[in-house]
Amino acid sequence: MCSLLFWLSCSGPYLPLCCAWELQSAVLAAIEWMYRERMTSSIPPSSKRMLKSAQEPRGGFSFENCQRNASLERVLPGLRVPHARKTGTTIAGLVFRDGVILGADTRATNDSVVADKNCEKIHFIAPKIYCCGAGVAADAEMTTRMAASNMELHAMSTGREPRVATVTRLLRQTLFRYRGHVGASLIVGGVDLTGPQLYGVHPHGSYSRLPFTALGSGQDGALAVLEDRFQPNMTLEAAQGLLVEAITAGILGDLGSGGSVDACVITASGAQLLQTLSSPTEPIKRPDGYRFAPGTTAILTQTVKSLNLELLEETVQAMEVE
């Protein structure tokens, strides 16, 4: 360190700019190393090993900037740090007589742009357990993939089929570990030895077991239909029709939801994926042409007047993303 500073001081004004920049970075790194050594000189060797292992970079999610953003927000009142955005999804599920049925729309949005019209939001966890995801598509996809992998290892280790409560516990512990920074709202449904079960898991790790539920930015319309028409011990046909109407209400009441309605029927015998049950936003087909021939109605007079119009006000309805 001393030799480096001595050589830097003896170089004078004839040091090239690029070399000076590299030396400045090296000096700053050396000063930081000396400060760290001085701070850790009084720490026992065992504590040093623990501190070194804690400082090593690890894989997975990293939220080191969240505390920094919170501190900057307190110091600078006008600073606007990134906040959570709307999920742009409608997912729902309900319990019927023989099992559970899950449903979701197929639109994936990026801010106010439709990124994907056929996004699959019903994820496989186990042969008789599926999960609907709303929120950040990557977070929901990877969270459910890790849960499916862990449940496969659990089934191979124990020799038994996984339970729905086990999957829900794994998911909510994973989400609670990251304090909501993994933006995934999940609806877990399945059938095990205790019967059909349906859980709603929120991004912060809270959960609830319900006979019917809906999540996403279109949940208001879906829950309105479910609360009005849900009945215990419904047949599969009635439950499927109610689910399609609930997802359709969410699609028509939310600009972030759209596409078609996908569903998954889970019973004791297995699961069945049903794609494109309904397409509420399908464009209306106009008639090809008029049936009467040209000249049927005679034109008596024809006058063309130009209109001088002035644009006074223009408004555009934008989708709420926050």
| 277-286 own/partner pairs: CB under 8 Å, 24+ apart | 277/103, 277/240, 277/244, 278/244, 278/247, 278/248, 280/248, 280/251, 280/252, 281/251
Among 89, 90, 168, 174, the active-site one is 89
- Residue 7 is classified by DSSP as H
Instruction: Give the amino acid at 166.
Output: T
Active-site residue, 89 included = yes
The residue among 50, 140, 49 whose CA lies nearest residue 87 is: 140
CA angle at residue 16 from 14 to 18, to 5 degrees? 160
User: What backbone phi and psi angles, to 5 degrees, belong to 183?
Assistant: -80, 80
The pairing of beta strand 113-116 with beta strand 108-110: antiparallel
| CA separation for the pair 116, 108 (Å, rounded) | 5
The residue among 173, 177, 170, 175 whose CA lies nearest residue 185 is: 175
Could you write out the DSSP letters of every residue in 289-315?
S-SSPTTSS------------------
Asked if residues 265 and 274 have their Cβ atoms less than 8 Å apart, the reply is: yes
Q: Helix H segments across the chain?
A: 2-11, 17-39, 45-55, 64-75, 137-158, 164-177, 219-229, 236-252
The two three-digit tokens of residue 113, written as one number: 């742009």
The two three-digit tokens of residue 301, written as one number: 């007079």
The residue among 164, 159, 167 whose CA lies nearest residue 195 is: 164
- Known catalytic residues are 89
